Amino acid sequence: MKTKLTLAALTLTAAALAVDAPALWDKHCASCHAKDGSGNTKMGKKVEAKDYRDPKVQEAMKELDAIKSVKNGLKEKGVERMKPFADKLTDEEIKALIAHMRTFKK
């Protein structure tokens, strides 16, 4: 299990190096999640974006769930909380964004 997690982390790190994740974050994510991952934006407050600086939030978020959320978007109780990005971002870009989001952890 530990080897699989290490391999997954290395894969995400390699993806992040090949993509300008901070620029993608600014373009696609910061309007809701804020530049620092806090979710402290007008839209972030409206959709109740999580604070990615919080270690507990980061710990609870599993990689595959994060990938699925970015690709397919998020809906809760029929309300769209996040638009899907499958048609805007490659798998490599999505993995790089998630790796970048992990850097916000305090």
Exposure pattern of 49-81 as b/e (b: 16+ CB <10 Å)?
bbbbbbeeebeeeebeebbebbeeeeeeeeeee
Instruction: Give me the pLDDT at residue 2, please.
Output: 63
pLDDT digits (tens, 9 = 90+) for 18-66: 789 999 999 999 999 999 999 999 999 999 999 999 999 999 999 999 9
Per-residue pLDDT, averaged over 73-95, amounts to 94
User: Which range marks the domain in which residue 19 is found?
Assistant: 2-102
CB 48 within 8 A of CB 80: no
User: How many domains is the chain partitioned into structurally?
Assistant: 1
Neighbouring-strand partners of residue 69 = none
CB 105 within 8 A of CB 52: yes
Q: Domain of 70: which CATH number?
A: 1.10.760
Asked if the model's pLDDT at residue 1 lies above 70, the reply is no
Cα separation, 19 vs 61, in Å, equals 22
The conformation of residue 87, written as its DSSP 8-state character, comes to T
Pairing of strands 74-76, 79-82: antiparallel
Indicate the pLDDT class of residue 9, thresholds 50, 70 and 90: low
Could you tell me the pTM of the whole model? 0.78
